[in-house]
Amino acid sequence: MNGTRKPVHLAVYDTLADWETGHATAHLARAGYPVRTVGPTTDSVTSIGGLRVQPDLALAGLRPEDSSLLVLPGADLWDAGDDLAPFARTARAFLDAGVPVAAICGATAGLAREGLLDDRAHTSAVSFYLAATGYAGGERYVEADAVTDGGLVTAGPTEPVAFAREVLGLLGAYEGEVLDAWYRLFHDSDPQAYAVLEKAGAE
């Protein structure tokens, strides 16, 4: 594996939806990207599923130049106040620096509130969920399982595999036929796709 790749940073916070980012982070790690968790502080957080996570670093110490990607999972807290707004502001800093961001489920609403979806094609759970944020990007909403616009990936809560497909493709972890086969295997349970991945060493 390429040991020179910058880490992928996975945001972790209380009530995070732990099923939404597992495909992406697991296969990025297998492709040689170190995965580091970043929390509001370094205090442990607890996911919706009851998993306790000890962040590797606090958000205040995260710099775009030290990262390959910022991944923002959904969480109840995205819609319960402003506790996670600092993560959306960090996403702005990443995008301004040309470092990609991937947001799924409630994190898309956080980005909408930050104004990051006003001028980018995007998706989420449903259009009216984002419309409730009062954002100005409604015309850029796309009815799709996952959307990539430049350095920003968005997806709804029911599409963790499509979300991972976009992330893996964006970072070049898997490409072309291999990326397509990966998606067909994990999304459609297509047994023929496994042979492609096995040949490529990506299963």
The SS3 assignment for 11 reads strand
Contact call for residues 91 and 73 (beta carbons, < 8 A): no
**What is the rounded (10 degree) CA torsion for 114, 119, 121, 125?**
30
Query: Active site includes 161?
Result: no
* Burial state string for 151-181 with b = 16 or more CB within 10 A and e = fewer than 16: bbbbbbbebbbbbbbbbbbbbebbeeebbeb
DSSP 167: H
> Among 45, 105, 109, 155, which one carries the catalytic annotation?
105
Tokens 């009815």 correspond to what residue?
A: 143
* CA–CA distance, 4 with 32 (Å, rounded to integer): 9
Q: Show which residues are catalytic.
A: 105
